[in-house]
Amino acid sequence: MPLVCIGLEKEVCTLHVVVFTRSTPDTAARVEVGKDGSVTWGDAAMVVNPWDEYALEESILQAKNAGGKATVIAIGPEQHNDALKHSLAMGVDEAARVWDAALEDADSLAYAAAAAGAVKKLGDVDLVILGKESIDVGTDQHNYQIARKLGWPMLSYVSKIVAVDYSARTIKVERLLEQGRQIVTSRLPAVISVMKDINEPRYPSFIGIRKASKAVIPEWSLADLGVSLPPTRTRTLKLMNLPAREGQVEMLDGTPEEQAAKLVERLLEEKVL
């Protein structure tokens, strides 16, 4: 769904979109806790956080359609440059990475403060697009906290951008909630998080990959952003492997009718019906 520019001539219809991403282990990776208590994923590749692909695609579409630009930002050490280069190869215009030793044990509040600082440093941002969640940390809480630290409205679970009205400075979106679809408008600037069904992320082109490989990605410290972190209020004590599943699978044989009868018998015994 292309962006609809209302109220201004196409030539002056510009938009600065910021999108955040990070590198996470490939979704097929077997993630485990090693003997030293740290996370390992064998020789599985690091990929762009799968949810971010939809945010990256949407930022490219929106920026292109409005004749504006998209900037991608990662917060983390150098390994996250891979996700940034993938983003550039897809067609995002510019990239930056925020890192500081003080972010080493950052919780979501510190992450959000740094992210909001980066958006403020860019200055002219109209829209921040985020993936639904980060699979490594297993949460989406930083999304909402970025919006609050910016003081901008937050529209989560967006399945479609219906329109952007430049003269009124508003955005209209469709959100996918538990009970159905909601249509909602908000003023800009705003933060949105997008769902899987908003688009089909593109693969990086050959030319895009070549261009991205040469890109020099600036690194910003917290001092560059003028951000001081809020106190850390949560800490991870340890990581654990999942408890092994107890018992063996019980195979139920026979004709389909016999299998069905045996299963219903077991389910009644288990009291799950």
Partner 1 sequence: MSAVFVWIETFKGSASPTSWEALGAGRLVADKMGVPLAALVFGENANAVAAEAGQYGADKVLVCDDATLHGFRLEPYAALLAKLVMEHQPKAVLAVGTTRGRELLAAAAADTDSGLLTEVTSLEVQDDGSIRVVRPVYAGKILSEAAGSPDGVQFLALRGRAFKANVPKPDAKAEVTAVQPALAEDQIATKIEGFEEETGTVNLTDAAIIVSGGRAMANNPKEAPAGTANPEVWKAQDGFENVLKPLADVLGGAVGASRAAVDAGYIPYAHQVGQTGKTVSPDLYIACGISGAIQHQAGMRTSKVIVAINKDAEAPIFKLAHYGLVGDLYKIVPALTAELKKRLGK
- In the region spanning residues 63 to 122, those forming contacts with partner 1, defined by CB under 8 A, are 107-109, 112
Structure tokens at 152: 């901008």
Separation CA 142–CA 234 (nearest Å): 13
Residue matched to tokens 């109209």: 126
Q: Give the one residue of 12, 122, 215, 252 binding partner 1; rule: CB under 8 A.
A: 252
Residue nearer to partner 1 on the CB measure, 181 or 210: 181
Nearest distance from C-beta of residue 9 to partner 1, angstroms: 26
Number of residues located near partner 1, criterion CB under 8 A: 83
Q: Is the dihedral of CA 212, 213, 216, 222 positive or negative?
A: positive
Q: Is 166 in the site for partner 1 (CB under 8 A)?
A: no
Q: Cis omega before residue 77 (within 30°)?
A: no
Q: Is 186 in the site for partner 1 (CB under 8 A)?
A: yes
Nearest distance from C-beta of residue 189 to partner 1, angstroms: 10
Q: Is 32 in the site for partner 1 (CB under 8 A)?
A: yes
Q: Which stretch binds partner 1 (CB under 8 A): 2-10, 68-76, 82-90, 129-137?
A: 129-137
Separation CA 163–CA 186 (nearest Å): 11
Per CB under 8 A, which of residues 44..63 are in contact with partner 1?
50-51
**Residue 181 φ then ψ, to 5°:** -105, 135
Q: Is 208 in the site for partner 1 (CB under 8 A)?
A: no
Q: Is 268 in the site for partner 1 (CB under 8 A)?
A: yes
SS3 129: strand
Residues 23, 118 contacting (CB under 8 angstroms): no
Q: Is 37 in the site for partner 1 (CB under 8 A)?
A: no
